[in-house]
Amino acid sequence: MAVQEGVVSWGEALRVYRRPQVITMLFLGFSAGLPLLLVFSTLTAWLRDMDVSRSTIGFFGWVGITYSIKIIWAPVVDRLSLPLLTRALGQRRSWILVGQIGVMVGLVAMVLSDPTLSLTSIALCAVLVAFSSSTQDIAIDAFRIESAVDEFQGAMSASYIFGYRLAMLVAGAGAFYVADWSGWDTAYLVMALLMLVGVVTVLLVPEPEHSVADTTEVMEQSLKHQLHADQPGRWHRLEAWFVGAVVAPFVEFFRRNGSWALLILAFIGLYRLSDITMGIMANPFYLDLGFSKTDIANVGKLFGFFMTLAGSFLGGLLVVRYGIFQPLLAGAIMVSLTNLLFVQLACVGTDLLWLAVAISGDNLSGGFANAAFIAYLSSMTNRAYTATQYALFSSLMTLPGKFFSGFSGVIVDASSYQWFFFYAALMGLPAIVLSWILWRHSMAQSCQPNTLRSTLP
């Protein structure tokens, strides 16, 4: 685990946001965030306008499974070179560009399809957009991690989140405005053109250095030898590629972390358990309290958007100044405690001030914790297998929360909203405890004479 020697000044920490790599992530974050709503809520609005039944629209939610299973083809993005493109742009930029082009083609194809005549074609185009978007995400994550040292990853993720959130506003509210003015076909064509923001960025920025440590290379060759994948022949060459791209990333992670590997994976799965569990009940809670949809939209969009950005910026700043583990622990505590604001909101009822306080606290803590957590996940990847290992982490970090969130309505019905949000706050305790344990373990490692430390250049 990488730790930081000493503490940098606030001025040095702030100047990180002026670095070209950090600014680049703003535009790549916009490119990554734009397609998401176009195959989810914005698409469902378009289909409903076309008088498609609600039951049919519900099945389009399965398109989102693509984002959850991207670990399946992450090894391909990590290792497979694309003819001509990889030589011209490099491994990461070539795959980002392919993903962006796939999104643009899928969006244009949706415009050329008629939902009233063939929903199947719309569904296939949506799958193409989602697949291309998740492929772009894999490559962008690898690009981000390889572009900067661990201590800059908080700022990199904060910049990425800003671009991502901005793109979601454009693909959500922006698409609705354009659709109201000139129809859904025009709206989706405009969104396809806005993907050029990412395309131009990819063509202008340099490819990050992709280095493989000697120890990693030796480990991989030894693994291929043990599995008899280093023999001549076409089948053995394919087997060797599979071992290097799929097997080696997992073996390397467990060898590097030893007995701590399972604890680290448990921590990754539990860190966001609290906020994901409570998130699914937030909007029903607001409506049941008596808030209007306008109140929820105004407070949620305005305060939520800017507080998330503020939290992400602050989290990235503190990662640069203090290292990864202190902000990581602080984020876990903040996420757990801010759930208690919703307990208070449930007690006071329809109070706009408390609604603003609860949403602001929730989004500030969420943005802060997310920036620190992304920095931690980035530090845990071996740069020989960046895309594959990070895809594993990003899939794992939402799985337990999504599972437990399915029981949230049962808990509310059996008790009350107050007890549910108190229960959600308690679910943050494992993340707090594990954050502290891993921080202490990192400090113990840093005291060992042969421990390599990551420092600011």
Read off the CATH number of the domain in which 69 is found: 1.20.1250.20
Reported as a single tens digit per residue, the pLDDT across 351-396 is 999 999 999 999 999 999 999 999 899 899 988 888 899 988 988 8
Any domain includes 457:
no
Same domain, 186 and 98: yes
Same domain, 90 and 177: yes
- Please provide the distance, in angstroms rounded to a whole number, between the alpha carbons at the two ends of the chain: 18
Looking at 186-190, 236-240, 439-443, which range is the least confident one? 236-240
Any domain includes 219:
no
pLDDT exceeds cutoff 80 at 446: no
Same domain, 416 and 345: yes
Other Cβ atoms within 10 Å of 116 Cβ, number: 9
> How many domains in the chain?
2
Q: Which residue has the higher pLDDT, 115 or 326?
A: 326
Other Cβ atoms within 10 Å of 354 Cβ, number: 18
Closest by Cα among 349, 325, 342 to 420: 342
Same domain, 201 and 300: no
pTM (2 decimals)? 0.81
- Domain containing 19: what range? 10-210
Give CA separation, 115 vs 1, 51, 111, 223, in Å.
51, 9, 9, 51
d(CA 384, CA 184): 43
d(CA 118, CA 348): 50
- What the block records as the tokens of 409 is 């309505």
Any domain includes 442:
yes
Looking at 16-30, 86-100, 223-237, which range is the least confident one? 223-237
Same domain, 258 and 130: no
Any domain includes 3:
no
Reported as a single tens digit per residue, the pLDDT across 17-30 is 889 999 999 999 99
Same domain, 182 and 308: no
Any domain includes 24:
yes
Contact 44, 126 (CB under 8 A): no
What's the pLDDT at 47? 83
pLDDT exceeds cutoff 50 at 73: yes
d(CA 161, CA 374): 10
Of the spans 248-262, 275-289, 398-412, which averages the highest pLDDT? 248-262
Same domain, 199 and 234: no
pLDDT exceeds cutoff 70 at 294: yes
Same domain, 190 and 235: no
Reported as a single tens digit per residue, the pLDDT across 93-138 is 999 999 999 999 999 999 998 777 778 899 999 999 999 999 999 9
Domain boundary among 178, 210, 242: 210
Any domain includes 456:
no
Same domain, 15 and 49: yes
Any domain includes 120:
yes
What's the pLDDT at 301? 67
Domain boundary among 210, 243, 264: 210
Any domain includes 108:
yes
pLDDT exceeds cutoff 90 at 32: yes
Domain boundary among 210, 238, 271: 210
Burial 30-66 (b: 16+ CB within 10 A, else e): bbbbbbbbbbbebbbbbbeeeebeeeebeebeebeeb
Same domain, 296 and 425: yes
Same domain, 183 and 310: no
Same domain, 200 and 146: yes
